[in-house]
Structure 1
């Protein structure tokens, strides 16, 4: 458990004020923890899904405007973003997640003023970290490019976003500590919208109007992260200003038993933040292994040129990964919601509630993530053609997307389990498990590429995250006694319903292909819409009819069943 600073006795007047202030928060959080998690997950899922879909849809015109350089441009974009993602995690220093967890901890014991103080000093730290990380990323670009001169302007353009995103992230973490997920979701969507608009406008002007270099177009597309950050930060600042009166009242009613100095708060922030740096970088660290090893390793087996190696890399690291991140964002949304809820239960030493919330989080993950991943695999062909058109490697790209969809379940499971462990202050356990998986990934990379070629990196990633997830599940069960039998029974139902859904979707696509030519994007859109409606209808009907949705998502789902006249 986290160390708490020295406590001091509160007068009775402060207790009465604290109770009154606590009531303000309770009026917004009167639901059960299961409903809190569902409500928070709904907001974060909506924000993540809309942002990810928007971030994927832009690729249709963007790659079309890149013309013959489409795969090379997408590979360059993906390589720049993989390194940027690591720097972004370091620049935020894991502070947003730590702030969310610690604010929830202090709120649970009516120490709102301490949470505000923690946020204020965390903001100063984020400003400094943003400046330092942006400078390092900018000047280290020639070294990080690994001899590829095209990477340098891309990394230079990405470094500017590091100045603003840390501040925006800590504001999101602060409100997530209050279980307020709507501001984060809205700001995330606005950030992505501004980013995509800038990307498309500059890509069109450079490639189609002035007929410039695709490297310049990619550089402007990555600079769009800075433009998006401006708008996302503006949304969070406006929300903070609108909530200041309420936050001040809550702070005024704190018990004020916690006596902290500035140094103690900064040490607490850093101590809680360091594990988040490592865990938040988990997936990107695996991808970074691919970025620096795939070309030389595959080149050793296939003896092909750089452009073809980049094309193969783009198929799984850019094309497939961009689409599966839509489903992985579901797990990320639930992870963000789970941390403050678990931290609050931990602060109250409520072991039964912790066990219940862990089981709820895992079951909620399964009922949403599994059908989403299987569904994406089922519609991989029209989905891939819609986004990337028909090219030289289209058939291979479709197969890679199908396989990546299944791998995304393990990536999502790691995300939610890592969040649970961090919310319960099991940071060392989470880090040790991740490092074991990373060693396995690195050890298997060369033989897997040698045997399976382009599929090799995904297979080594799946094995690595599979081992990490198994270790985390075993440790959580040993310490908190997850409802294993209940979870397994419900998982069986989810898998059965998912398989029935996939059969329905595959059958629908087979029938549609008899009358339509899926090589055209307009036809793909029609097929996708019909297939998705069929899949949602089959799966939705089954989980509502059997009351499985009620058991996992809460009693409120019954209202949906009644409106749909499902008995």
Structure 2
């Protein structure tokens, strides 16, 4: 029975991870055609309010369902579970109503604080999604607590597909009919509420199939009071949710500081909006980089958790060290590749190479955000929620204190540097909290070797791109056509060069390389070559 439960858990975890991966890819990829249709200013308008959606979505999609599933797993009988969930639903509905009312009533004040009063209509548009968040979080949490991940996975995919479809349809319609960018933004952001309705419909179907009712009053005395439940919801559920929305929180700070800082830097209001839109191109690039790095890390974390649960401390420390090293190497390779190919990637995806320097610095976030994800997972597995919350607070404090000042003195590149420094500060703090375990993650000069490999790869790729660029111009290819070919060639050459150098410098142990997909085949091929 235990083996069957474990098998169900693993299958469910894989299903939810795949659905989450597809949803993240969709969430990153749609922004490219969207930006192409609405331009830099239209992209700025959308991205200014996106963090509000992103934070709400993280709470409803991953953070609170994870915590609620833990509450369900802790409960005994079905009656206890439903009694507990009805209380959670009441608390969440109250919180969501306050949030909805606050966004509706103070939309203008929030927009003014962002430096653009016209954003108020978009803030009111996104606020409607919060009314559906309680049911989505509770229903997903219930099924996840029962080790049934299919409802959450299905509703997540439906939600993202509907949202992306609405956004791109609105962008196309706005382009064809020459809508004002703020009108376009309000309709595009209404996709959040529309998608939540479809996701809720999916969850209602699963709830009815399971014959459960979260709406009925508690049938038995509560084992936990409303006040204690609210406290746990805020501390444990809030910590998980806030860390899951770490990058979105940094983007929210950008929404309040970058555009205002650019005006202080000396740009006109219209130019500041355009530059902020260019700066926001970095977000889907970082998101895609994180998908690759964190997906790999997530695949290794179950074995880490199993070792911890069985109190095999030596195995736990060894595996944690491997996860940290391999995640760092893959994230660094992704960031270095994007830096080397940024002009081509920027032109291919967004139509021009404007802001490539700013974006090159911004993608360094991939390295630190990946490490933070790993350290956070380890700390939470040790039930050290307060430590992770303090780490997040340090990073956000650095961003809040220095972001606008950096932009005023350096322009958009200042915001990129502040994001990277904030994430680095968070990484160092979390690393220090785990010093007692001595993971030996950076042994044998790993950092020195990794920096050397990345620098050689960046220089080598840039030389190759410059040579090929001249050939493309002589062939008479369009800028975007040549950028496409250069990106394809650059990615292939970058992967080959990085792996060749990594193997030559013994960046990772052979057993660690063999943990990668199809490693035995491509390792043999690389060594022959």
Instruction: Give the structure-1-normalised TM-score.
Output: 0.75
Q: Could you say which structure has the greater relative contact order, defined with CA pairs below 8 angstroms and 6 or more residues apart?
A: 1
The partner residue of 1:140 within 106, 119, 134 is: 106
Note if contact 1:48-1:330 (Cα within 8 Å) is conserved in structure 2: no
The partner residue of 1:534 within 487, 490, 493 is: 493
Gap change, CA 1:521 and 1:41, over 3 Å in 2: farther
Offset at 1:82? 2.3
> Where do 5+ consecutive residues of structure 1 fail to align?
1-19, 31-35, 248-258
Gap change, CA 1:536 and 1:178, over 3 Å in 2: farther
Gap change, CA 1:179 and 1:436, over 3 Å in 2: same
**Mean CA deviation greater in 276-285 or 305-314:** 276-285
CA distance in 1, matches of 2:70, 2:303: 8
- Report whether the alignment pairs 1:211 with 2:178: yes
Offset at 1:152? 1.7
**Mean CA deviation greater in 51-60 or 424-433:** 51-60
CA distance in 1, matches of 2:151, 2:140: 7
Q: 1:313 maps to what in 2?
A: 276
Q: Output one character per residue of 1:416-471: Cα deviation in whole Å (capped at 9) or x when no partner.
A: 32333233221222222332333333333354334422211222222222122111
Gap change, CA 1:216 and 1:321, over 3 Å in 2: same
Q: Output one character per residue of 1:367-408: Cα deviation in whole Å (capped at 9) or x when no partner.
A: 321111111122211211122213xxx43x111111111133
Q: 1:289 maps to what in 2?
A: 253
Structure-to-structure mapping, 1:299-378, within 5 angstroms: 299-302=263-266, 304-316=267-279, 318-330=280-292, 333=295, 351-352=313-314, 354-378=316-340
Gap change, CA 1:539 and 1:406, over 3 Å in 2: same
The partner residue of 1:388 within 350, 355, 361 is: 350
**Mean CA deviation greater in 361-370 or 52-61:** 52-61
CA distance in 1, matches of 2:381, 2:185: 38
Gap change, CA 1:53 and 1:284, over 3 Å in 2: closer
- Report whether the alignment pairs 1:62 with 2:34: yes
**Mean CA deviation greater in 280-289 or 542-551:** 542-551
Note if contact 1:102-1:343 (Cα within 8 Å) is conserved in structure 2: no
Offset at 1:306? 1.0
Aligned partner of residue 516 in structure 1, secondary structure: helix
Q: 2:128 maps to what in 1?
A: 160
CA distance in 1, matches of 2:409, 2:252: 21
Offset at 1:285? 3.5
> Where do 5+ consecutive residues of structure 2 fail to align?
213-221
- Report whether the alignment pairs 1:455 with 2:413: yes
CA distance in 2, matches of 1:218, 1:341: 44
Offset at 1:86? 4.1
Gap change, CA 1:519 and 1:444, over 3 Å in 2: farther
CA distance in 2, matches of 1:141, 1:161: 15
Aligned partner of residue 243 in structure 2, secondary structure: helix
CA distance in 2, matches of 1:544, 1:507: 22
CA distance in 1, matches of 2:6, 2:462: 47
Q: 1:24 maps to what in 2?
A: 4
Offset at 1:341? 7.1
CA distance in 1, matches of 2:315, 2:278: 44
CA distance in 2, matches of 1:337, 1:177: 20
Q: 2:161 maps to what in 1?
A: 193
Gap change, CA 1:490 and 1:562, over 3 Å in 2: same
CA distance in 2, matches of 1:202, 1:71: 16
The partner residue of 1:73 within 11, 36, 42 is: 42
Count of equivalent residues: 509
CA distance in 2, matches of 1:187, 1:496: 44
Q: Output one character per residue of 1:268-314: Cα deviation in whole Å (capped at 9) or x when no partner.
A: 44442132344345433333333223333343342x32111112222
CA distance in 1, matches of 2:524, 2:80: 46
Aligned partner of residue 423 in structure 2, secondary structure: helix
Instruction: Give the structure-2-normalised TM-score.
Output: 0.80
- Report whether the alignment pairs 1:514 with 2:480: no
Q: 2:219 maps to what in 1?
A: none
CA distance in 1, matches of 2:145, 2:453: 35
Offset at 1:484? 3.6
Gap change, CA 1:451 and 1:217, over 3 Å in 2: closer
Note if contact 1:60-1:388 (Cα within 8 Å) is conserved in structure 2: yes
CA distance in 2, matches of 1:180, 1:326: 28
Aligned partner of residue 363 in structure 1, secondary structure: helix
Aligned partner of residue 117 in structure 2, secondary structure: coil
